[in-house]
Amino acid sequence: MATLNLKELSKKEDLLTHGHRMCSGCGAPTVVKMVLLATEYPVIASNATGCLEVSTCISEYTAWKIPWIHTAFENAAATLSGVETMYRSLKKQGKIDKDIKFIAFGGDGGTYDIGFQSLSGAMERGHDMIYICYDNGAYMNTGIQRSSATPLGADTTTCPAGDVIPGKLRARKNLTKIMAAHNIPYAAQASPSHWMDLMKKVQKAHEIPGPKFINILSPCNRGWRSKTNDAITLSRLGVNSCYWPLYEIENGVTKITYTPKDKVPVADFMKPQGRFKHLFDPQNAELLKRVQDEVDAEWAKLQKEEKCG
């Protein structure tokens, strides 16, 4: 495994260059850089259509310094499955002699929803790859529509907060647990605010044969209606409120990789985000309480799962 020493990491080449057209302060390029810095292996990536794809490859210009494949919205995992299968065949024939790793990147729209079928298939078939979801909680690239990753109470263009409804009325789908239920050897959640935890998980995943899934919180100031310089702050609040707990499930065994010393209310995570502004109106106090209750219940459940081993 590569060392996770900041001084040494600062000397490594960025495999996603500056000059791309992601929004200022977007969490996604930070996530991608951390993922790519975490390994010394040659890497081939597939990338579902979305913010990351359309903004890092404009016509013949690309910000990627690795072999990179743009796929449709729904088939990043299927595309990479084919590439990984071809690699295994060529290696068996003696035409390739080096170890190559495979990573698929997709946003929550292309992972939780539109790309779920191909992702589930790739995991079930056992392809040796890592699927990284950069989760910003909505279809940000096409106008901030709700996805099944959109949190309870959030205001989006397709579930707008107003006089009729106070934003999204259903809780987000727990995709990390769903992927672990495929009996894959490794599934995890990570956050760019806890960079060493994130990079260690990527390193571990590379050394485990078979399919792996890592869900990474990725703040979007455009869709979250937050400041352009607070992606890491919001990521940390997401972790410390246990809205986004850091854990891994390895061969069916759950391990919490970070426990907040002082757990903060989920309201601390939500207040800086305009998409939750309406929840702090007196008439929505009950919904805000429901959000907190559901976060607390999920955290308690995760702790129980860890104890049960």
How high is the pLDDT of residue 2? Answer: 60
Q: How confident is the model at residue 1 (pLDDT cuts 50, 70, 90)?
A: low
pTM of the predicted protein model? 0.97
| 122-137 residue pLDDT tens | 999 999 999 999 999 9
pLDDT in tens, 108-161: 999 999 999 999 999 999 999 999 999 999 999 999 999 999 999 999 999 999
Q: What is the pLDDT of residues 174-232, one digit of tens each?
A: 999 999 999 999 999 999 999 999 999 999 999 999 999 999 999 999 999 999 999 99
Domain 6-308 has CATH 3.40.50.970: yes
DSSP string, the chain: -----HHHHTTSPPSB-TT--PPTT-HHHHHHHHHHHT--S-EEEEE-SSHHHHHHEETTEE-B-S-EEE--TT-HHHHHHHHHHHHHHHHHTTS--S--EEEEEEESIIIIITTHHHHHHHHHHT-SEEEEEEE-SSBGGGT-B--TTSPTT---SSS-BSSS-BS--SPPP-HHHHHHTTT-SEEEEE-TTSHHHHHHHHHHHHHS-SEEEEEEE---HHHHT--TT-HHHHHHHHHHTTSS-EEEEETTEEEEEE--SSPPPHHHHHTT-GGGGGGGSGGGHHHHHHHHHHHHHHHHHHHHHHHH-
Domain boundaries defined on the chain: 6-308
pLDDT reported for residue 5: 85
Mean pLDDT of 251-272: 97
Q: What is the pLDDT of residue 223?
A: 98
Name the average pLDDT for the chain: 96
